[in-house]
Structures are given as C-alpha cells and as structure tokens.
Chains A and B, each alone.
Chain A
Amino acid sequence: MPNAAAPPAISFENVKKTYRGGQVKALDGVSFDIHAGEFFGLLGPNGAGKTTLISVLAGLAKATEGRVRVMGHDVVDDYAAARKALGVVPQELVFDPFFSVRESLRIQSGYFGVHGNDAWIDELLHNLGLTDKANANMRQLSGGMKRRVLVAQALVHRPPVIVLDEPTAGVDVELRQTLWQFIARLNKEGHTVLLTTHYLEEAEALCQRIGMLKAGRIVALDRTSQLLAGTASTMLRFKTDAVLPPDIAARARVTGRIVQVTAHDANEVESTLAALRQVGCPIEDLEIGRADLEDVFLEIMQGEHA
C-alpha cells in the first residue's frame, strides 16, 4: 500500500530538459512525487517526454534544470545510492550476445556489488518462466523471452523502486499475464512501481495513480478512480455508414464503421441521439457504457483539461 506520509520514493522537482541550445523542450518543468509503495502510471502520446523523464531519473540523461531524487538520493549528487535503489526495464530490446541468461543476471547483479545471488536469480527465473532457458545464450531467445530477461536484470539487485518503460510493447498475452502477476506481487510486498505503457487498460487495471504528460508538461495527475470519475463518464458506441453531423464528428472517435462518443450525463446522451435522428443518420448496434481510461486520455490530450 502507498505510504503518503513517508518520504517520496521518487521526487521530480521542476525538471526541464532541452536540446539544441534550448530550441527543443523535451521536458518543461515537470514536478510530482511518487509515494513509497505506490503503483504509478505515466501516460502520454509518443514524444510527450515519458522516456526522457525516465532517462533523467535513471541517469541516462542529464536534466537541464531541476532535481530528481530516488528514495531521497539525488540522481546526480548521490548517483550511486540513487541507482542502487532503482531497477529499470529499458524500452529497447537489448542484450549482450556473449553471455547466457544466467551469466547476464550474475554480471548485472555483480555491477551492483551483489555477489552470490543465485537463490534470488533462480527465483526470478522461475517467476518469469525462464528456468529452462537459464543456460541458453541470449541470441537464442525469442523477443518475448529477451524481454523477460530484461525484467529479471532490472530486479536482480532487489531495488525498492522499479521502473518499467513500455514493458509489454510487442509481447504476447502469456508474458503480460506472467509479468503483471509478478510485478503486482512485488508491489504488494512494498516495491514502488513506475510504469509507462501504451496499453491503457493495463494502466487502468494496475495503477493506483496516474500522471499524464503532454509536450513535456504534466497535464493530469490524480488517482485513477478520480480521473475516471472527473471526466465524461458515459460512452455511446454504435455502427454507421453515414456521415456524422459536424458537432458530433468533432468529439467522436471513429474506427472504420464503429463510432464512440463521450457524454457527461443522460441529457447529453439524449441530445446526441436526437442530433443523429435529426440528420437521418442510421445507426446499428447501439451500446451505452462507462468511459474507460482511454476515453479520459483522449479527452485530456485533445486539450479539454490541459
């Protein structure tokens, strides 16, 4: 359970990152805390600055301004303690072709000064379904298996804070299930988790709190339940071949014949349906459901809450 009274596990303080002499602003004054024990989701479209923020947190990039702390340790002035507290699963599928899975994990553990760590390595291999691949060379593994090894490498020194940057991008359902069960267990045991993902249903299911980045700025930061409650709560879904009226088309999400339109309340549902009837727009398979995080995300990114 998150502990808001304890010092934050991660603290971003007015973090700015610019490139090309200040012409490109990747991060534009990002400030927020992630509480110890929290499962936090960082969302945003491509290019919003999520990976840059994580790179600054992990010491892969240097902030132009501002401070970042991990378990109270500054990532620049006290980088060794900050990095020991952090386990990062990078977005890119990278591996060292010279070594087997077990060798890679022993090496990564040794970098953190943790030697004789085979009991924990065996547990990681078991929990991530890698036991029978322990002695296989990294080159022989499939993409999904390599992704599991990346997760194991991030956890091998038992960090209290885990950062997962798009960990399920392009991987199969089985790995997602295995991974989320394991990460959820670690979170229950007290590990803080920071997740970035494009799979918003994952974020909705797993994250207690969510921050949304847009053009290098935080545009939403709240508990997941509050974000869902504070926005359009109803979703109309229907199929049509006709052209939508302009005012509905402007706020609709169209995928082929399927149209989704958000509504704040019953009156808005009624007025939307009336508008469709008025222009003679034939609709099929009408469903009225609860808006999900994807709807909230699109609404915020389209600027209504920015």
Chain B
Amino acid sequence: MNGASTLFKKEVLRFWKVAFQTVCAPVLTAVMYLLVFGHTLEDHVKVYDSVGYTQFLIPGLVMMSVLQNAFANSSSSLIQSKITGNLVFLLLTPLSPLAWFVAYVGAAIVRGLAVGAGVLLVTAWFAPPGLDNILWVLLFTVLGAGLMGTLGLIAGLWAEKFDQLAAFQNFIIMPMTFLSGVFYSVHSLPGVWQGVSHLNPFFYMIDGFRRGFFGVSDVSPWLSLGVVASSFAVTAGLALSLLKRGYKIRS
C-alpha cells in the first residue's frame, strides 16, 4: 500500500488546487438553498416540535453537499484521466486494485468532509442546529461519503465520455439525493411515497446524520447504519471487482 498514499495525496491535491471550484462553490450553493428555502418555509413547515425548519434543513444540506461532492471527486478525476489519457501513468504502476480503491475513495471522503464542514460552518451561523451525538454525525458522514466516492469510482470507470457521467449524476445521483428527505421529513409524504423513500439508501444516510444533531429521526439510526454500511460493502465489492478486471481501462 506504499504507493496508495501517493495516489491519495495526489487526488487530494488535485481538488485542493482548484478549491474555489471544488469546495467554495458547493458551500455557496448550499447557503443559497438555505436562504431561499429557510426564509420561505420557516413559518409554514414544522417537522419536529423542538426544531425549527431552518435548523432541520441544515444537516440535510450538509449531507447533500458531502454526498454530491464525494461522488464528483472520484468520478471527475477518473473520467478526466481516461479522456486526456494520463491514466496511463497509473496503469503502468504496481498499484493494486485495493490501493486504487483506498486512494480514490479516501480522497473523495476528504473532499466530502471539507465541503460538509464548510457548509456547516456557514449555515450554522444562521440557525445553530445543536449537536446530540457527534459519533452518529461522524459515522454517517464518513460512510456516506465513502459510499458516494465508491459510486463515483464505478461511474468513472463505466463512463467513456463526460456526457455519460453527467447523465449518471443528473438522472441517478441528483434525484436520489433530492428525494431522500433533505428538504422535508418523509413522514410528511403520502404512504406510497414514504415506502418509495425507504427504498432509497440516501434517505438513511441523511436521516442517520440528522439524528446526530437532533436526537430524533424518521427511522432508527441502527437501521440506517445497517443499510448504509451494507450498501457501502456491496458497492465496494463491485468497484474492487471492476478494478481487478481492468474494466474499461485495460483492453
């Protein structure tokens, strides 16, 4: 795993060198969501008795930013390297599939955490959400970012052009994050849609994460942890198998 640390550092440096685009811009986007939705709905929506809507919204926005940026990091790095051809520098090395996985997903987690911390710092200034259990917060952040970094790795391997990656992001990742309870509690939905939401693993990431702030959640945090951890295990297994086969990167 000696070379994995270099790949990890390189992947972190890659986004850090353009932090204005990869960290600051998503923070600004999340603040915009908070200002618009928080201001509009604060007096109209009540999710939990002890929690105002703006407070409720903050953990959702933080987690949405973590998830989207973790996915963007591994997927965009891989597709850029494939299309520009500089992936050859990695393909020629003795790095194992596990080293690739640890480095790409590790860097995705770091970017997710950096953006998430930025969003939390800025939005908490508007309405501090409180903190019930930091362990849930950290566990769901790291696992959620890891799951999305892994999905980004799979998407980056699969996509042959930017268009395909954008389709993956816009038609799968974006709807699943938006429909996971970022802006509302799934209990406010009709029964059918509540059922559909419970099939969405993103719902468990956000619900478990929110539990860490408020001490209340739509489902048990242990159930959320089980769903998120098993989703991560399945996608990690798939990503490692694709890397081992050299799927779409070794002919």
A-to-B contact residues, CB < 8 Å: 55, 58-62, 79-81, 83-84, 86, 88, 90, 92, 94-99, 103, 107-108, 110-113, 115, 153
Interface size class for chain B? Answer: 20 to 34
| Chain A residue, CB-CB nearest to B246 | A62
Residue-wise interface mask of B (1-16) relative to A, using a CB-CB cutoff of 8 A (1 in contact, 0 not): 0110111011001100
Task: Write out the residue numbers on chain B whose beta carbons fall within 8 Å of the beta carbon of A108.
Answer: 89, 93
Complex Cα distance, B6 from A58, in Å, reads: 21
Q: Is the CB of A96 within 8 A of B86?
A: yes
Smallest Cβ distance from B87 to chain A, in angstroms? 9
Interface of B is mostly: helix
Task: Write out the residue numbers on chain B whose beta carbons fall within 8 Å of the beta carbon of A115.
Answer: 6
Q: Does B196 contact A (CB under 8 A)?
A: no
Q: Is the CB of B90 within 8 A of A111?
A: yes
Q: Is the CB of A58 within 8 A of B92?
A: yes
B88 partner, pick from A60, A83, A84, beta carbons under 8 A: A60
Task: Write out the residue numbers on chain A whose beta carbons fall within 8 Å of the beta carbon of B93.
Answer: 83, 108, 111-112
Asked, given contacts A80-B96, A81-B94, whether A111 binds B6 with beta carbons under 8 Å apart, the answer is yes
Among A60, A62, A92, A95, the one with the most B-chain Cβ atoms within 10 Å of its Cβ is A60
Complex Cα distance, B81 from A272, in Å, reads: 57
Task: Write out the residue numbers on chain B whose beta carbons fall within 8 Å of the beta carbon of A81.
Answer: 94
The residues in B between 2 and 38 inclusive whose CB is less than 8 angstroms from any CB of A are 2-3, 5-7, 9-10, 13-14, 17-18
Q: Is the CB of B88 within 8 A of A59?
A: no
Q: Is the CB of A111 within 8 A of B88?
A: no
| Chain B residue, CB-CB nearest to A92 | B85
Q: Is the CB of A60 within 8 A of B2?
A: no
B-to-A contact residues, CB < 8 Å: 2-3, 5-7, 9-10, 13-14, 17-18, 81, 84-86, 88-96, 246, 250-251
Smallest Cβ distance from B96 to chain A, in angstroms? 7
Complex Cα distance, B246 from A61, in Å, reads: 9
Q: Is the CB of A86 within 8 A of B92?
A: yes
Asked, given contacts A60-B92, A80-B96, whether A110 binds B6 with beta carbons under 8 Å apart, the answer is yes
Q: Is the CB of B250 within 8 A of A94?
A: no
Q: Is the CB of A98 within 8 A of B17?
A: yes
Task: Write out the residue numbers on chain B whose beta carbons fall within 8 Å of the beta carbon of A79.
Answer: 94
Smallest Cβ distance from B119 to chain A, in angstroms? 24
Asked, given contacts A94-B88, A98-B14, A98-B17, whether A111 binds B95 with beta carbons under 8 Å apart, the answer is yes
Smallest Cβ distance from B13 to chain A, in angstroms? 7
Among B2, B9, B18, the one with the most A-chain Cβ atoms within 10 Å of its Cβ is B2
Among B85, B88, B92, B93, the one with the most A-chain Cβ atoms within 10 Å of its Cβ is B92
Task: Write out the residue numbers on chain A whose beta carbons fall within 8 Å of the beta carbon of B92.
Answer: 58-60, 83, 86, 88, 90
Pull 20 A–B residue pairs with CB atoms less than 8 Å apart, ordered by A.
A55-B251, A58-B91, A60-B91, A62-B250, A80-B96, A81-B94, A83-B92, A90-B88, A97-B84, A103-B13, A107-B6, A107-B89, A110-B5, A110-B7, A110-B10, A111-B3, A111-B7, A112-B93, A113-B94, A153-B89
Complex Cα distance, B84 from A86, in Å, reads: 23
Task: Write out the residue numbers on chain A whose beta carbons fall within 8 Å of the beta carbon of B89.
Answer: 94, 96, 107-108, 111, 153
Asked, given contacts A84-B94, A112-B3, whether A62 binds B251 with beta carbons under 8 Å apart, the answer is yes
Asked, given contacts A60-B88, A62-B250, A94-B88, whether A110 binds B94 with beta carbons under 8 Å apart, the answer is no
